[in-house]
Amino acid sequence: MPFTAVRRVEFCDTDMAGIAHFANFYRYMEQAEHELRRSLGMDIYERRPDGTVLSWPRVSASCSFHAPARHDDVLEIEVAVAKLGEKSVTFSFHIRRGETAVATGEMKSVCCVIRPGQPLESIDIPESIRGKLEAMTAEC
CATH number at residue 70: 3.10.129.10
Residue at 140 is within a domain: no
Residue at 14 is within a domain: yes
Domain count, the chain: 1
What is the strand order of the sheet 74-84 is part of? 3-8, 74-84, 88-97, 100-110, 58-65
Examine the pLDDT at 139 and tell me if it is beyond 50: no
Q: H or E element: which one contains 39?
A: helix 24-39
Domain holding 73, by residue range, is 3-134
What is the strand order of the sheet 112-114 is part of? 45-47, 53-55, 112-114, 121-122
Percent of the chain clearing pLDDT 70 (strictly above): 97
Residue at 37 is within a domain: yes
Rounded mean pLDDT, 117-133: 95
Residue at 90 is within a domain: yes
